[in-house]
Structure 1
Amino acid sequence: MSDLPSDLEIARINAEHLISTPIRSADLLFVFGTRHGVGETVQAALELWRRGFFRHAIVSGGLTAGDTRTECTIIKQAMVAGGVPEVLILEEHRATNTGENVIFSLPVIDSALGRENIGSVICLGKICTARRYPMTLHRHWPDVEKMLLTINPYGVPVERWHTDALFRERVLLEWRKIEPYKNRGFIADWP
């Protein structure tokens, strides 16, 4: 994707999509699996743990090409090595996209913790996908309070995303999914 966004589209994406929310202590950290930015994702999760921002976590992500371990296994092992107690991290090993992350994780959460016992969730994932994480969660679990923390694995400041070809491609790809996904019922508006 080589098209350059207009100044207006850049401004809209910055304001509406490349967002984070204030973070406070939550019942659950929802780590959306990735094969790019694993180190940054783990470091963000460890920082949240050290600061006491979650009581339990779920890591969701299936197999990716070229690896015999799931994204969940890779991320969870690194979180445990960094000090998060293994028993506090729930696992989901099948998801291959954001929708599956949520759909496959909810029964795991129900079984281990009971969704009714979770009042707040911090969504953790890559900046390019940003608000689509809580929008997907909101579609399937509207009652829980959602917060969003993103990581940037691109080596370019977020405000300069449009100047880097790969970062721009990923952001525009994700941004352009929002309306079609809403229309198809995959995601829901989230404040």
Structure 2
Amino acid sequence: MFFYLSQFLSFLAMPFTIICILIVVGAIYLNKKWGKRSLWTGIILLGFFSNSFIANQAMLAWEPDFKDFNEINSHEIGIVLTGVTNLSKTAYDRTFFNKGADRITHSLQLYRQGKIKKILITGGQGLNPVNPQSEAEVLKRFLLMTGMPEADILIEDQAKNTAENASFTKAFLEKNGFDTSQGFILITSAFHMYRAKGCFDKVGLKTETFPTDYYSNDTKYDLPTLLYPDPYSIFMWHKLVKEWIGITIYKLVGYI
């Protein structure tokens, strides 16, 4: 119930949801003074949240800088959080990726460069599975297709959220005889790293962060960026607001 409640609260707080409510209410009650204010507030907010420059600056400020591969110390295990595949499309001979494939491809780079000896993938089917396979399972298939030895691929395929990623990963490591006092490399999307790191710290796993999957770009000052409305900018704000809400809820319930 907690997971569904948090999803519903996130939906209500999304910028586009608020914009739609303001515009619809304003259109219905246009003959009233507060109705006109509601309509214009919705229009102004639509312009603000659809501005590429503003959205990119907000994401730039939030995402931690990426790290050079040479900066990373060698560890036994790199822990990869899922949330990067399209589990709504079922296949058994390939992996369909969504935005975020950097999480697993950069993990593979770390492995090939000898920065990690094993890759541990943590993540199950999510809240509303339509695919009988877990995300950890389909990502393992991808790694096997690249020629990575099966013995170096570990999967925890029950976690449904970041808090469970951390707690279930620790339980998996303990069950399989790994030293949980050692350091690990934590690999996830840059916008999600703060919450992920907090969850792993909470369960007592020491991690060196390796952010991937950036939504922000280098700052540009061209006309389209500064003035043209862009629906992707609203999407970026949705990612940010949802993450901020997630962090707030996690702090309230003690996950971080």
TM-score by length of 1: 0.78
Q: Which has the higher helix share?
A: 2
**Counterpart residue type for residue 244 of structure 2:** W
- Segments of 5+ residues of structure 2 without an aligned counterpart are 1-13, 16-44, 86-97, 221-229
Partner of 1:37: 99
Q: Shift in Å at residue 87 of structure 1?
A: 0.8
Question: Going by fraction, where is strand more abundant, 1 or 2?
Answer: 1
* Residue correspondences, number: 180
Match in the other structure for 2:92: none
CA contact (8 A) 2:81 2:123 kept: yes
User: Given the superposition, is the C-alpha separation of residues 119 and 158 from structure 1 closer, same or farther in structure 2, using an over 3 Å criterion?
Assistant: farther
User: Residue 66 and residue 40 in structure 1: after superposition, are their counterparts in 2 closer, same or farther (change >3 A)?
Assistant: farther
Aligned match of 2:74: 25
The one-letter code matched in structure 2 to 1:99 is A
Match of 2:217 in 1: 157
Q: 1:110 to 1:166 in 2, by over 3 A?
A: same
Matches within 5 A, 1:114-129: 114-116=178-180, 119-129=182-192
Structure 1's 165 and 159: CA in aligned 2 closer, same or farther, altered over 3 A?
farther
Q: Could you say if the C-alpha distance between residues 177 and 27 of structure 1 is closer, same or farther in structure 2, counting changes exceeding 3 Å?
A: same
Tell me, yes or no, if structure 1 residue 104 matches structure 2 residue 160: no
SS in 2 for 1:27: strand
* Structure-2 residue corresponding to 1:60: 122
2:23 aligns with none
TM superposition shift of 1:38: 5.4
Unaligned segments of structure 1, at least 5 residues: none
Contact (CA 8 Å) 1:134, 1:148: kept in 2 or not? no
Alignment of 1:140 with 2:140, yes or no, is no
How far has the Cα of 1:13 moved from its partner?
Answer: 6.2
- Give the match's secondary structure for 1:44: helix
User: What residue number does 1:131 align with?
Assistant: 194
The 1:9–1:178 alpha-carbon spacing in structure 2 relative to 1, beyond 3 Å, is farther
Name the CA shift for 1:10/1:46 in 2 (closer, same or farther; >3 Å): closer
* Higher mean displacement: 73-82 or 61-70: 61-70
Does the 8 Å CA contact 1:98/1:136 hold for their aligned counterparts?
yes
For residues 57 and 137 of structure 1, the distance between their equivalents in structure 2, rounded to whole angstroms, comes to: 16
Find the aligned partners of 1:74 and 1:60 in 2 and give their Cα distance: 11
What TM-score results when the alignment is normalised by the length of structure 2? 0.60
Give the conservation status (yes or no) of the 8 Å contact 1:38–1:75. no
Provide the residue aligned with 1:69 in structure 2: 133
| Deviation by residue 1:57-96 (Cα, 9 ceiling, x = unmatched) | 2111111433221110011111222232211221111111
Instruction: Report the CA distance shift for 1:10/1:140 in structure 2 as closer, same or farther (over 3 A).
Output: farther
In the superposition, relative to structure 1, how do residues 145 and 112 fare at CA in structure 2: closer, same or farther (>3 Å)?
same
